[in-house]
Structure 1
Amino acid sequence: MTFSRDEITHLPKVLSAPRFATYLAEKNGDKEKALALYQWNLETSAAFLVPLQICEVSVRNSIVTAIETVYGSNWPFEKGFEITLRDPKKAYSQRKNLTALRYLGTSGKIVAELKFVFWQKMLTFSHDADLWNTHFRAIFPNTDTNKTVQELRSTGYDHLEKIRSLRNRIAHHEPIFRRNIQDEYDRIREVIFWTDVTAAGWVDKIETVTGMIATKP
């Protein structure tokens, strides 16, 4: 990557000194090398949007399938489902997230608006009895048969925590260059694979994340 004199002068100001400082420190004060790293971080973050989108949609739809099996297609409005959701006073509340969206009127619209963390929180032990003991392997058919449902559900929760962290950093334009990019992609792919082998293969065909690894300045 090469930058013009004007770019080297103006881009750090546009990016802001605090934001650029992370990259500048990584490259020992060399502005051009820091800009190259910033551009790589920018392009890699953009590349992650494709597998992240497929991952979020696939895991969301899979969990919805399990919920519908137990609580019916109108599950967002069912009191029986609502009371299974955690409702802490000083932290994220699944219950409040759900009930605040009921004005949308349909299950489909509510599903589209629920936060990613809602789906992650569905993979907790509190849902083992009503959902996962019976339905986990049906909605995630490609999981390791040598592991228990509880082990797999816990792994899924941990995977989604790390994926959500990456997603949030990208959404807030934060650095990801210190992360292991291959591990991040492999984790996303594994969650997609749990639901559908073909979808995981398709993501492998269209993703550009792994190609960015060798180009890191």
Structure 2
Amino acid sequence: MIYSDYISKSRLDIYEKHLKVQPTQVIAAYHWNKALSGAMLPAFQCLEVTLRNAINLAILSHPPKGSKGLWTPNNNWITDLPRYIGNSKIKPIERYKRATLTKHRQDTHGYLLDQYGNKILARKVKEENLVQQAKELISKEGKKPTPDRIISGLTFGFWVHLLTSIYEDTHGYRLLWPNLTPIVFPNAPMGYERSTIHDAFVRIKTLRNRLSHHEAIWKFHYDDPYTGKPNYKTPIYGAHASCNLLRKHYDDILDMIGWINLDRKNTFLKYSANLRFYALCSVNGLNSYIDPDKISTRVNISRGGRGIRKLLKVLSRNDFMRLTKSNETILTIGADNSMKIDNT
């Protein structure tokens, strides 16, 4: 069997139709997309971890005043808040299982009870199910499902859903927003409220889902002027336009990290975690995979002398080296190239 037996035709066709590469360049472009997706992961991870830790810290340090007696804003909030939302949003007749036989253990309203006297749930809200799934996965690993482990095991989608209006209470101060908005997002642009912040995170979550499903991360569509949502009948064509849009989304991710904590963003940039993405997300980045001869800047290694030969030797063995000036390191270089190095 050949590679085409394992990659669907529709996955590859878009590289010709939308990215406008030649048929012989499709597989190279496909691997460029893999490298580009990998280069985005550090920013996605940074945003997700920063968001979840900020929400957790805000609840513990600034518990909503109206939550008293409804849900506990302590270390167990991760299970207690979704439970409260479930009790509030779902009618009892749908929320709890009904007893079908008189011999079944039940309360005075006919709802089934477990061995501890608690009503057995028939329906849960989304967050309750996600918490339960995280607990089960942690237990399968032979670990105790502590609040910290549950928080770490929850998906990005869980945290984005906490930004919805379900967790907003503008009058009773029982829930997260707007109480914690300035605590979790102290650096958000002026005038940004929960709904605007939520919409921004939904856009990034959609992009992250595309990466997780191994889709073309560079593929975009024009927005419908009436709905503001992507119109899948109007794709954007060409490498230059596609890369520009993906860069815009990436810059949004970095900005959103800064909305939560500027030090977190600055540390990310300090260690150059963004540079590989910017290099790959360009026409030259694509050309480095599909047609290196189109890259105009070049160094003739036959004239490079000892330094270039040493660099090639180090890179060919997948090692790192540093470039220095006056004994000061100015750049580290490792084997991160799109073509095999022939050190002959």
The TM-score range, normalised by the shorter chain, is: 0.7 to 0.9
Asked if the contact 1:59/1:191 (under 8 Å) is kept, the reply is: no
Give 1:91 deviation, angstroms.
11
TM-score computed with the length of structure 2 as normaliser: 0.53
Q: Distance in 2 between matches of 1:162 and 1:181?
A: 12
Flag the 1:198–1:30 CA change in 2: closer, same or farther, 3 A.
same
Q: Deviation above 6 Å: which 4+ runs of structure 1?
A: 86-92
Q: Distance in 2 between matches of 1:140 and 1:29?
A: 42
CA RMSD of aligned residues (A): 2.9
Q: RCO greater where, 1 or 2, for CA within 8 Å and sep 6 or more? A: 1
Asked if the contact 1:182/1:213 (under 8 Å) is kept, the reply is: yes
2:251 to 172, 175, 186: 186
Offset from partner CA, 1:6-36 (integer Å, 9 cap, x none): xxxx554553433222223346683222223
Of 112-121 and 25-34, more deviation after overlay is shown by 25-34
1:122 maps to 2:158: no
Unaligned runs of 5+ in 2: 64-72, 95-122, 137-143, 170-174, 221-244, 288-344
Q: Distance in 2 between matches of 1:101 and 1:92?
A: 15
Give 1:101 deviation, angstroms.
3.9
Q: 1:11-90 maps to which residues of 2 (within 5 A)?
A: 11-26=3-18, 30-69=22-61, 70=63, 71-78=73-80, 82-84=83-85
SS in 2 for 1:133: coil
Give 1:102 deviation, angstroms.
4.5
Flag the 1:184–1:29 CA change in 2: closer, same or farther, 3 A.
closer
Give 1:75 deviation, angstroms.
1.1
Asked if the contact 1:87/1:95 (under 8 Å) is kept, the reply is: no
Alignment match, 1:6 = none
Asked if the contact 1:27/1:33 (under 8 Å) is kept, the reply is: no
Offset from partner CA, 1:15-70 (integer Å, 9 cap, x none): 34332222233466832222232122111101001100001000111111233342
Equivalent residue letter for 1:96: N
Of 11-20 and 190-199, more deviation after overlay is shown by 11-20
Equivalent residue letter for 1:183: K
2:131 to 98, 110, 128: 98
Q: Distance in 2 between matches of 1:45 and 1:212?
A: 10
TM-score computed with the length of structure 1 as normaliser: 0.80
Flag the 1:29–1:41 CA change in 2: closer, same or farther, 3 A.
closer
SS in 2 for 1:173: coil
Equivalent residue letter for 1:95: E
1:158 maps to 2:160: no
| Structure in which a larger fraction of residues adopt helix | 1
Q: Distance in 2 between matches of 1:73 and 1:172?
A: 33
Alignment match, 2:286 = 216
Equivalent residue letter for 1:136: T
Q: Distance in 2 between matches of 1:100 and 1:28?
A: 42
Flag the 1:190–1:29 CA change in 2: closer, same or farther, 3 A.
closer
Asked if the contact 2:82/2:128 (under 8 Å) is kept, the reply is: no
Unaligned runs of 5+ in 1: 1-9
Q: Distance in 2 between matches of 1:77 and 1:182?
A: 37
Asked if the contact 1:87/1:96 (under 8 Å) is kept, the reply is: no
SS in 1 for 2:193: helix
2:180 to 128, 131, 135: 135
Q: Give the % identical residues.
A: 25
Equivalent residue letter for 2:188: T
Alignment match, 2:309 = none
Q: Distance in 2 between matches of 1:122 and 1:27?
A: 36
SS in 2 for 1:84: helix
Q: Which has the larger radius of gyration?
A: 2
1:200 maps to 2:265: yes
Q: Distance in 2 between matches of 1:99 and 1:191?
A: 29
Q: Distance in 2 between matches of 1:181 and 1:27?
A: 13
Give 1:198 deviation, angstroms.
2.0
Q: Distance in 2 between matches of 1:43 and 1:216?
A: 10
Asked if the contact 1:142/1:193 (under 8 Å) is kept, the reply is: yes
